[in-house]
Amino acid sequence: MKTEKKSIFSYYKPYLGLFLSDMFFACLGAAVTLVIPLIIRHITGTVVYYEAKEAAETILRLALLMAGLVALEFGCNYYIGYFGHMMGAKMERDMRHELFAHYQKLSFAFYDEQKIGQLMSRVTGDLFDVSELWHHGPEDLIISLIRMAGSLVILLFINVRLALSAAALLPFMLFYAVFLNKKMKRAFRRNRERIADVNAQIEDSLSGIRVVKSFGNEDAEMDKFDQGNQRFLESKQNSYRYMGAYNAGLGAFATLMTVVVISVGALLLSEGELKPADLVAFLLMAGNFTDPVKRLVSFTEQFQNGMSGYGRFREILEIQPDIEDAPDAEELGAVRGEIRFEQVDFGYASSGGDVLHHLDMEVKPGEYIALVGPSGVGKSTLCSLIPRFYEVRGGRITLDGTDIRRITLKSLRENIGIVQQDVYLFAGTVYENIRYGKKDASEEEVAAAAKAAGAHDFILGLPDGYHTDIGQRGVKLSGGQKQRLSLARVFLKNPPVLIFDEATSALDNESERLVQEALERLAKGRTTFVIAHRLSTIRNAEKILVMTDDGIAEQGTHEELLKKEGIYAGLYKAAGR
């Protein structure tokens, strides 16, 4: 299913009322800044010539009016400062939801090529800058246009020659801004890439902090970080060079405009073509003419940051998931667990060649299959194809006679339980991690699953039992404890098909015995695939498949394969068993 390409403006749609009200108050606030100089012009050009008492009364009334206008401007600025920012924050939330949802759709093949730190950077920093642009962009533009256009019209009304003298600098300012904008856009995009690299380095180093410390490689990690940090500084230096020229140039143009107004105004004043009150109003209005330029300076940085962030956001959304539900995909009903591989070909994009070539295999419902063989021959790959973590290049895999590509991904994966060597536990409590296998499970069901996995007793020995916080990735637990919690998750899920990918290879003997007993309880009556290096753990398998680079070289029970005195017998003897 192709991702819909949304326009930038579509993100405003849910908040159109809030956006329009924000623009209304932005316009109203801008209008106030135009009215006050006109009132001052009226006071200095007309009211001061009234009789003293009348002038004082009029000035007081006009002062109160201006105070009211200032209060109105305060209210307008508060509204756009609070509600406008909330609109941007809500749009940021929506975009973050869209991006994270898209991450969930992408396959293992995508994550094989990505750095998690860079993906995180797109969800956080990039989208914050986009939301700032969504809020400030239209608001700054409308305020700037109203103030510049309004002040120009008023200045033309006051004195055409003086207004044209001030406006003569605008084309040069515009050319200067456009020229530097192009350079700044490239520089800011480079900044985004560099900070994403830094984030990726931090994420990688902190995730492996135990390995770093065990090898005493803190200095090496610091060197790698410093290199990435320095590259980011260099990209920032380049962007700030352009930004400095941009800010300094536009600031100089704004000051030059004031100089022109004063010079030409003084000349017209000396010639009697301009009244002093008009010059005062002109100088006040010139601020309205130049302040928007300063606002546009800050807007330009927001624009560059926001648009480069939005470009990176769209870049990810336009990556199409390579594994999706077929249009005619169906939900699974009752699953027996018969699995067939029919002439299956598969290879990873990064490696080029095939890992599996014309593989044929039949597994009966409830059968216990063990996969053995050297590393790299495709044991884990074969098992990853069953839940469609990767897509076959040729041939097909069927579950109960149905091509798995015609089964919805959610339904397929709900019926497969996977226990891996590298257990991933989420930050949180024991209870939350077991319940991950069935989100609506009761406490009784969670406890029953833990008992079946042989985890209940050690859980009760933890400080807060099932409500003990186990830390990031379960760092407060031993390897055997983590593995039994992962088994409890699968017991709770209760799937008809199981995959054990070297689930006991990293455990000590006692932990291996406990986990192995739990594995065998879990496998009873289910179609089970076991990948194992320790051949002693698969003696009871109903069928052992010996894999080589050429595919399945031998198959049979433990005793049958030993009698053949082939590859399996050699592996068994080499293991000293």
What string of DSSP letters covers 419-480?
EESS----SSBHHHHHHTTSTT--HHHHHHHHHHTT-HHHHHTSTTGGG-B--GGGTTS-HH
% pLDDT > 70, the chain: 93
2 pLDDT above the threshold of 50:
no
HSE-CB of 45 using CA atoms within 13 angstroms: 16
Mean pLDDT calculated for residue range 101-113: 81
CA dihedral 553, 555, 560, 562 (to 10 degrees): 40
What pLDDT score was predicted for residue 137?
81
**Band (549; pLDDT cuts 50, 70, 90):** confident
Segment 153-199, tens digit of pLDDT: 888 888 888 888 877 887 787 778 777 777 777 787 788 778 777 77
**Mean local confidence (pLDDT), 35-40:** 86
Give the model's pLDDT for residue 274: 81
How much is the pLDDT for 575? 66
What does DSSP assign to residue 15?
A: G
Identify the H or E element spanning 310: helix 276-317
Rounded CA separation 233/511 (Å): 49
| Interval 255-276 mean pLDDT | 83
pLDDT at residue 211 in the model: 63
Q: Is the pLDDT score of 318 beyond 80?
A: yes
Does the pTM surpass 0.85? The reply is: no
- DSSP annotation of 3 reads P
pLDDT tens per residue across span 229-244: 888 888 888 888 888 8
Confidence of residue 350 (pLDDT cuts 50, 70, 90): low
Q: Which pLDDT value is given to residue 207?
A: 66
Rounded CA-CA distance 568/544 in Å is: 9
The pLDDT of residue 210 = 58
In this structure, the number of other CB atoms found within 10 A of the CB of residue 50 comes to 13
Backbone conformation region of residue 366, classed left if phi is above 0, alpha if psi is from -120 to 50, else beta: left
Residue 27 predicted with pLDDT over 70:
yes
Taken in order 173, 174, 175, 179, the sign of the CA dihedral is: positive
Query: Which tokens in the block code for residue 224?
Result: 């790698």
Mean pLDDT of 344-364: 82
Confidence at residue 213, expressed as pLDDT on a 0 to 100 scale: 63
Rounded CA Rg of the chain: 35
- Helix (H, G, I), strand (E, B), or coil: what is residue 560? helix
Q: How far apart are CA 443 and CA 79, in angstroms?
A: 48
Is the model's pLDDT at 287 over the cut of 70? no
Using the predicted structure, report yes or no on whether residue 105 has a pLDDT greater than 90. no
Average pLDDT over residues 414-429: 82
> Is 147's pLDDT higher than 50?
yes
Q: For residue range 131-145, what is the model confidence (pLDDT) as tens digits?
A: 888 878 888 888 888
CATH 1.20.1560.10 is right for the domain spanning 9-317: yes
Yes or no: say if 555 and 363 are a contact pair by the CB < 8 Å rule.
Answer: no
pLDDT of residue 339: 93
512 pLDDT exceeds 50? yes
pLDDT, residue 230, reads: 85
**Please, what is the average pLDDT of the chain?**
83
Interatomic CA distance for residues 314 and 127, integer angstroms: 11
CA 236 to chain centroid, in Å, comes to 22
Q: Which ranges in the chain are annotated with CATH 1.20.1560.10? A: 9-317
Q: How far apart are CA 387 and CA 391, in angstroms?
A: 9
Distance CA 442, CA 394 (A): 43
Task: Give the span between the Cα atoms of 36 and 71, in whole angstroms.
Answer: 12
Which position has the higher pLDDT, 429 or 108?
429
Beta bridge partners of 246: none
- 66/110 Cα distance (integer angstroms): 61
What is the pLDDT, as a whole number, of residue 1? 43
Lowest mean pLDDT of 1-5, 307-311, 360-364, 563-567, name the range: 1-5
